[in-house]
Structure 1
Amino acid sequence: MPTLHSPRTLLSTLPFARRGLSGAGLAMGLILTTATSVATAQTFYPAPAEESPEYWQALGQAELQRALARTPNTNRAKNVILFVGDGMGISTITAARIFDAQMQGSAGEENLLTFERFPYVGLSKTYNTNQQTADSAGTMSAMMTGIKTRAGVIGVNQYADRADCQSSLGKEVPSLMQDAAERGLATGFVTTTRITHATPAATYAHSPERNWESDANLSEEAIANGCQDIAAQLLSFDFGTGINVAMGGGLAAFVPTSETESLTGQAGQRLDGRNLTREWLQKYNDSAFIWNKDQLAALDTTTTRHVLGLFSRSQMRYSHDRAGDDASEPDLPTMTETAIRVLQQQGQDEGFFLMVEAGRIDHAHHAGNAYRALQDTRELSAAVQKAMAMTNDSDTLIIVTADHSHTLTMGGYATRGNPILGAVVGNDDHGHPHSGVSIANDDMPYTTLGYRDGLGFAEAGGGDRRYGIPGAAGRANLREVDTTHPDFHQEALVPLESEGHAGEDVAIYARGPWAHLIHSTHEQHYIYHVMRHALGW
């Protein structure tokens, strides 16, 4: 009888060069357990000891009383911080909250990430004007400009054709960060992607093509019609006193081919001969250009008015791969803390706007690697905690959301406390855990987490991953595979070169002034209007 499941990529290498991703840490190979069965090798996590019928009653009443006591905060927001978990759909948040607790030894289902404790929650409809399932450029542009637009374009309206410079001229839409700078607020953004990547670029740039990150990427038509690459637009941001904080990866787009980078010693990408890191220092008084975590730690945030931090040639490393004392890259909470310190100093009078992106959640999902996606979600939660500790919700609106979702799914009827990355162990007819893993109709185990599409369709069976042709082995037998290992890649159904975005709504979490305006199912561009209203504009 044919199975609905298809062969699986345990550890695959994506076409990273084509997609502009980093494959650090995604090595090939199977991770074998020392036990003869996945079930005997898995660690099961205990539910909290205090759980009882009385506990659940008290918990429900306590939550009800907190809701009844809540009153809207209608202060004018002095500061706004927008956190974006790129690709952080609701299934990612659910899995990450369980993963977070299990990393600390508890069952996890009862856990909450930092931002899940915010008092106001809504949903965001993420479609683009021309696409049912969205991309980051169009979605982040919606959040930054207050209008929906096409997939693949940045800061221009829906009447601009993608990758057509001429059609985009005059279609530019001001971003919230531009308006904030013009009104005297300090401004900045932090990301774990290249700072010219779609999400951060939407805070400061206007382009009909998200991939025009360097002048080396511009088309002949774009050059002929005067379109500027995204990296160069960071330097031509002349609203107010300019950008105070820009930190992430992507150094190559700022250095010409005739020079080598400070960070890697490799030649830059720019063809126009411009070194934009030097231009940053020339453009701004009391400015800094830094490229490693030690320089970030040594930065004087009381006197530095403008800081450009480029900590990798391309994307920054995943949180899991960045760990360790010898890592040269800072983590997202540290970058967030430094950004807030600079912005608080420069925005003492008028306040500040900051965007923080955990951008590599998206890339790990594209790789079909849930471990790294969940670990980067945990890092985002820690960055939100840092921002909460450094600000006051009486005058600072914090919004946490995603630009779009991914096809990560969670199912399989696993027992309570089953490892979120593990093989499913279900319950018997009396509601108690089975002694072994659940078995599919093809006589093999399966995991709680999986993807709708991606490379996971084919490789493990020895077939052709380009076309998803199964090998003789079919699905991989997970009985002796450690599916909780960071390098394990979940199974997928539809054969694609890269796992793709999903089109369902994503969550919006809010606290601070006017956070109660997040209350329903909203069009994504509504987030812009809430931030603008909170600032009193």
Structure 2
Amino acid sequence: MLLKPTALAIALTSASLLLAGCEPALPVKDSTSSPQWFASGQQAANNAAPQANTSKAKNIILVVGDGMGITTHTAARIYSGQQQGLLGEEFSLSFETLPYSALIKTYNTDQQTPDSAGTMTALVTGHKTKAGILSVSDQAQRSDCASGQQHKLATLFDLAEQQGKTTGIVTTARLTHATPAALYAHSVERNWESDNKLSAAAKADNCRDIAQQLIDQNNSDQALEVVFGGGKRHFLPEQEGGKRQDQQNLLTSWQQQNPQQQVLTNLQQLQQADLTSGRWLGLFSSSHLPYIDQRDTSTPGLLDMTKAALTRLKHNNGKGYALMIEAGRIDHGHHAGSGYKALNETQELHQTVQWLLNNIDLKDTLLVVTADHSHTLTLAGYATRGNPMLGVVKGNDDQGRPKTSAKQLDDGGYYTSINYRNGPGAVDWQQGDRTSVDPERAQQADYLQQALVPLESETHGGEDVALYAAGPWAHLFGGTMEQHWVYHVMHHALTSDNAGSEDRD
């Protein structure tokens, strides 16, 4: 008997096509039966052991969904599938199709629930450290400039530059924000993005702000070829609309250092630039790049910047490249209590990784997709299959058939599938019963999901995050891993000369 393709079979087929560099056909709405689910399980078991690649990695791409916890994965998977006319649950995000995965523990050395500075430092230096500290060891004290002077940590990009590789950063956040900054800056305070935030003691100890460190670094042998994101205000003096108090225009200084160094400020310049050589600093917004639904035609998206960055990095004299891509505004959407924003930003990351899978060679490129930490997003409520991810919950009847009307609670009101443990959408319990969710309002872009604990900004979560990988030595990822181990797998992939070789660096 011939069986129709099932959801899992579709996902497996999509994965194999993506890894082969082909674009999979979109699946149709799921209508599987029990025998089909069983057959798809058999197929998954038969294809569950990909062959390990023990070649030395020529290229490495680290993709970070900032704040992209596992609940965000699940909700974005369903949401993205529903945008394509599917029920949603059967869909797979592009990075979820990668053959190797692991759970990653995210705590900082001083915090159970981490921040991005400490977590990104772990990912790119191989050292855990305190919250708020960028690529400086745990021996330093936060905001104490002198304590960090002798404890700077080498990064993944330092290794790549030593190997003669081209290096680049792409982010939808400010380039001086914690996640991208960990790759080029060493700071005991993540908030020292420009000199206006430096303490008097820090200035006395000759500590450099993060924007200044980027300019200094790019005037050295370890210069980045591509740096694309937001945060222009931290490179400009106050009289030019920036934040700097030292009267410096760092963009002018950077361009004057070398005629091969160019500054880009909008999408049109990015598209017209000859990216076959030179060093490129793209600052496309005063602060973070706008959310997807708020961008105008002059602002590039994550995929636009990734395509441009890879064009430059591939012109590398054959020695390879290292690229970090951050979907930084997933995190900000969650902090704002907006599931809509967080899921749309995650969907953009999914689309960017899908493009990567169609345009890189996993034979010599290690691709790692992970998050730095989680958030307090929850997905619950016994919604029926295919329930709109941003909508109110519709359940099933006693026979398991979907109901046509939304589920009402004992208080007579409705509720959504996704909510937050804390944040600006918190219910005011002092006013009595919970406010019912308006089914029409819940799916609007500016709606904030209900939360339990009232906070101005929703917080990070402390649970493990997921990691997905493919390419050389990706098979070393598995089980539950400490976050700083991720660096050591990437280091091993870049330095191992042959199968079974030991890390000699």
Whether TM-score is above 0.5 comes out as yes
Q: Which one of the candidate residues 419, 431, 443 is aligned to 1:471? A: 431
| CA distance in structure 1 between the partners assigned to 2:68 and 2:155 by the alignment | 23
Say yes or no: does 1:316 pair with 2:297. Answer: no
Q: Which one of the candidate residues 249, 254, 272 is aligned to 1:275? A: 249
Residue type of the alignment partner of 1:438: K
Higher mean displacement: 474-483 or 50-59: 474-483
Q: In 1, are the aligned partners of 2:392 and 2:439 still within 8 Å (CA)?
A: no
How do residues 412-451 of structure 1 correspond to structure 2 at under 5 angstroms? 412-451=381-420
| CA distance in structure 1 between the partners assigned to 2:28 and 2:384 by the alignment | 11
Say yes or no: does 1:506 pair with 2:459. Answer: no
In structure 1, the partner of 2:499 is none
Q: Give the Å deviation of 1:306.
A: 0.5
| CA distance in structure 2 between the partners assigned to 1:488 and 1:177 by the alignment | 40
Residue type of the alignment partner of 2:104: S
| CA distance in structure 2 between the partners assigned to 1:48 and 1:104 by the alignment | 9
| CA distance in structure 2 between the partners assigned to 1:143 and 1:231 by the alignment | 21
Q: Give the Å deviation of 1:239.
A: 5.2
How do residues 107-118 of structure 1 correspond to structure 2 at under 5 angstroms? 107-118=87-98
Say yes or no: does 1:290 pair with 2:271. Answer: no
Q: Which one of the candidate residues 130, 135, 138 is aligned to 1:155? A: 135
Q: Which whole-Å deviations, capped at 9, do the CAs of 1:413-469 have from their partners, x for residues lacking one?
A: 0000110111111111111122322222322111100000011114xxxxxxxxx56
Say yes or no: does 1:166 pair with 2:139. Answer: no
Q: Which one of the candidate residues 341, 345, 370 is aligned to 1:372? A: 341
| CA distance in structure 2 between the partners assigned to 1:270 and 1:207 by the alignment | 17
In structure 2, the partner of 1:518 is 477
Q: Give the Å deviation of 1:400.
A: 0.3
Relative contact order, higher structure (CA 8 A, sep 6+): 1
Q: In 2, are the aligned partners of 1:248 and 1:312 still within 8 Å (CA)?
A: yes
| CA distance in structure 2 between the partners assigned to 1:410 and 1:174 by the alignment | 39
Q: Give the Å deviation of 1:298.
A: 0.4
Q: In 1, are the aligned partners of 2:30 and 2:90 still within 8 Å (CA)?
A: no
In structure 2, the partner of 1:330 is 300
For residue 47 of structure 2, give the secondary structure of its aligned residue in structure 1. helix
Say yes or no: does 1:497 pair with 2:456. Answer: yes
User: How many residue pairs get matched?
Assistant: 469
Residue ranges of structure 2 left out of the alignment (5+ in a row):
1-26, 496-504
Q: In 2, are the aligned partners of 1:336 and 1:386 still within 8 Å (CA)?
A: no
In structure 2, the partner of 1:60 is 41
| CA distance in structure 1 between the partners assigned to 2:331 and 2:439 by the alignment | 29
In structure 1, the partner of 2:237 is 256
Q: Give the Å deviation of 1:47.
A: 8.1
Q: Which whole-Å deviations, capped at 9, do the CAs of 1:492-527 have from their partners, x for residues lacking one?
A: 001111110000000000011001111110000111
| CA distance in structure 2 between the partners assigned to 1:234 and 1:479 by the alignment | 47
Q: Give the Å deviation of 1:471.
A: 3.2
For residue 193 of structure 1, give the secondary structure of its aligned residue in structure 2. strand
| CA distance in structure 1 between the partners assigned to 2:317 and 2:37 by the alignment | 45
Q: In 1, are the aligned partners of 2:30 and 2:87 still within 8 Å (CA)?
A: no
For residue 388 of structure 1, give the secondary structure of its aligned residue in structure 2. helix
How do residues 107-146 of structure 1 correspond to structure 2 at under 5 angstroms? 107-146=87-126
| CA distance in structure 1 between the partners assigned to 2:222 and 2:213 by the alignment | 15
Q: In 2, are the aligned partners of 1:186 and 1:353 still within 8 Å (CA)?
A: yes
In structure 2, the partner of 1:25 is none
Q: Which whole-Å deviations, capped at 9, do the CAs of 1:104-151 have from their partners, x for residues lacking one?
A: 111000000000000000011000000000000000010111010000
Q: In 1, are the aligned partners of 2:172 and 2:326 still within 8 Å (CA)?
A: yes
| CA distance in structure 2 between the partners assigned to 1:480 and 1:89 by the alignment | 26
Residue type of the alignment partner of 1:249: G
Q: Which one of the candidate residues 254, 266, 279 is aligned to 1:306? A: 279
Percent identity of the aligned residues? Answer: 49
Q: In 1, are the aligned partners of 2:79 and 2:389 still within 8 Å (CA)?
A: yes
